[in-house]
Structure 1
Amino acid sequence: MLGYFPQLREELDVKTIEFVRPRASIITFLGEKNQECPCLILADPTKAKGLPIQQYGPHTFITDDKIIIEYLARNNGISRPAHD
């Protein structure tokens, strides 16, 4: 998504991390069991109304890439991919 919509890098706080586990920067926020990639930690969970989201402590997040795309499309004025 970031390649197709580079403006998202300016609108979001994007962190690129190593793929190899453990992913310490994710564990810090979401615990050891929730270190999947991609991961979108939501600043405002109310913008995810109706979407399946997860919770860890005070953090609400999404790890499913299709749900992340849906969230970004709804809240950042981008289109959804034409294919599944």
Structure 2
Amino acid sequence: MEQNILFMLNPWMDSDGQGPYYCPGCGVVEGFFAYSMAVKATIDIVYVDFQRPRQKVVEKLGLENQECPVLVLGRDLEPPENAKKSFSTGRYFIDDPVGICDFLGKTFDGIRPHP
């Protein structure tokens, strides 16, 4: 079974020296993991730098899909309704932070966001 891959952003400084900054969407997913630590161990989490191109994300989803956080679904999983499909690679992914948390909670019997 191919593991899901979650791409998250490292904190960064802008080129003009402003920051440090963090990605608010990534913060939502990190918060989910604080409640569901066991779920965190079931997926591959890859932290990438803010600057583009984000080569590791591009390899999985193409140049057009570099937003983070993004959960690239394992090839053997049935994609949920909210999944998108990369035109470049054919891979399914979820790029909405709450959608990522909901999918992981459902899939791995973890906590879920309140509807």
TM-score (norm 1): 0.81
Q: After TM superposition, what 4+ stretches of structure 1 lie above 6 angstroms from structure 2?
A: none
Q: Any idea what SS the aligned residue of 2:34 has?
A: coil
1:58 pairs with 2:79: no
Structure 2, gaps ≥5 residues long = 1-31
Q: Which residue of 2 aligns with 1:42?
A: 73
More relative contact order in 1 or in 2 (CA 8 Å, sep 6+)? Answer: 2
- CA gap of 1:14–1:59, structure 2 versus 1, over 3 A, is same
Q: Any idea what SS the aligned residue of 2:58 has?
A: helix
1:1-84 equivalence runs, <5 A = 1-43=32-74, 44-46=76-78, 48=80, 51-56=81-86, 57-82=89-114
What are the Cα deviations for residues 3-61 of structure 1, in whole angstroms up to 9, with x where unaligned? 3322223211111111222211001111111000000011144152xx31111223100
What amino acid does structure 2 have at the position aligned with 1:78? Answer: G
The structure in which a higher percent of residues are helix is 1
Q: Which residue of 1 aligns with 2:7?
A: none
TM-score (norm 2): 0.62
Percent identical pairs in the alignment equals: 28
Between structure 1 and structure 2, the one with the greater Rg is 2
CA RMSD of aligned residues (A): 1.8
